[in-house]
Amino acid sequence: MWLFRSGARLMQTHLRSIPQALSKIIFSTVDIGDMVYVSGMRFVSKEGVDNSFGYMAPETRVVLDVEGVKGFILAMGTMGLHALQVISNDDSVSKWIGSPRDSPITRRLADIGSVERLRIGIDGFKIVSFAAASLKGTTAHELSFRDQAYWYPSIPPDDVSLNTESFTGKDSLIKRYQPLVWSRFGGPQGAYLRALTKISVSLNGRIQFQYDREDIPAPSLTLGREKITVAEPSDSEEATDFEGNDKPKNIEFTIDGPGGEIIQAIEVAIDKFFDQPGDGDEVPTTYIRAKLHSFKVGVFFLNLLL
């Protein structure tokens, strides 16, 4: 999909130990357009010993008093770290440092143990990679899929079933940066399904839901990014499919939610784009992105007396 496509250039990697008897962490942020990034971190002990990562700007400092770090919740975009929360040894969670707006979020580093070392990657002015380690040695297979993955626009609450038993692609998703986008368009326990009147699918990676009510919360109106911040396909590229046939940029269809019509099945077709196409009989096995090619929904009418 076109949702999380761009990347950042890794220029330096810093491997540091967190000082013993930690007393505070100082963060620095930088604004790039309307986006916020974490540019640096400084860990200070009670004896005055400190270790720094990245770039520190005095005018954007945020100071967090903390005596030990158990883990982090990260808001990581394709261009770098937008925000993070620090989980202390007493399980308290700090406010967001930076801004998580319009950024995938993960808890894969939320329960590392007593964090002792960090490996931070930076480009010219911000943090672009983040890893943590401790003596506990928590590994990815000990975490739930809900905690391992990157989620957009937020991490699904525990009452949302993720169908992990039948989700065959989950293992490959957690091994690389490939955020999962979700929306509870039907509302809690399907409360909004009877108000659903139209579904609009954009081939650049967004699905919008329309209702006959005005009190539907914003997260239920869209499946996809709030704002596409990277280059999107050109008009000429979107105008035809790979066989040269005309195709619409948006697929729209109505649904009679008030009359009891509900979604029964969904089928999608995805075009994959490979980083190095094979020569001759060689078949490429690695692709860098995928694009929604078609979208089909099957519906049926629910008995209105139920």
Chain segment 149-184, per-residue pLDDT in tens: 999 999 999 988 888 777 766 776 777 788 889 999
Q: What pLDDT does 60 receive?
A: 86
Share of the chain above pLDDT 70, in %: 74
**Mean pLDDT within 208-237:** 73
Q: How confident is the model at residue 235 (pLDDT cuts 50, 70, 90)?
A: very low
- pLDDT given for residue 240 in this prediction: 45
Provide the pLDDT confidence category of residue 139 given band limits of 50, 70 and 90: low
pLDDT for the residue 109:
94
Asked if residue 102 has pLDDT above 60, the reply is: yes
pLDDT value of residue 276: 54
Q: What is the mean pLDDT of residues 123-134?
A: 92
Q: For tokens 């519906």, what's the residue?
A: 299
Provide the pLDDT confidence category of residue 48 given band limits of 50, 70 and 90: confident
pLDDT for the residue numbered 57: 85
Buried-exposed string 65-84: b where 16+ CB fall within 10 A, e elsewhere: ebeebbbbbbbbbbbbbbbb
Percent helix, strand and coil across the chain, each rounded to 5? 10, 45, 45
Instruction: Report pLDDT for 295.
Output: 54
Backbone angles phi, psi at 60, to 5 degrees: -120, 30
Residue 146 backbone phi and psi in degrees, to 5: -60, -35
Could you tell me whether strands 250-254 and 196-202 are parallel, antiparallel, or unpaired per DSSP bridges? Answer: antiparallel
pLDDT at position 201, please?
A: 85
Longest dimension (CA), the chain: 71
pLDDT, residue 55, reads: 92
pLDDT band at 214 (very low <50, low <70, confident <90, very high): very high
182-192 pLDDT tens trace: 999 999 888 99
Domain boundaries, the chain: 12-163, 183-301
CA gap 43, 20 in Å, rounded? 10
**Residues 5-23, mean pLDDT to the nearest whole number:** 84
Taking the C-alpha atoms of residue 229 and residue 257, their distance in angstroms, rounded to an integer, is: 33
* Distance from C-alpha of 208 to C-alpha of 60, rounded to nearest angstrom: 37
Q: Among 4-18, 54-68, 128-142, 250-264, which is the least confidently predicted range?
A: 128-142
Average pLDDT for 70-97: 95
Q: Answer yes or no: is pLDDT of 1 > 50.
A: no
Choosing among 3.30.930.10, 3.20.20.60, 1.10.645.10, 2.100.10.30, the CATH entry for 12-163 is: 2.100.10.30
Distance CA 84, CA 64 (A): 12
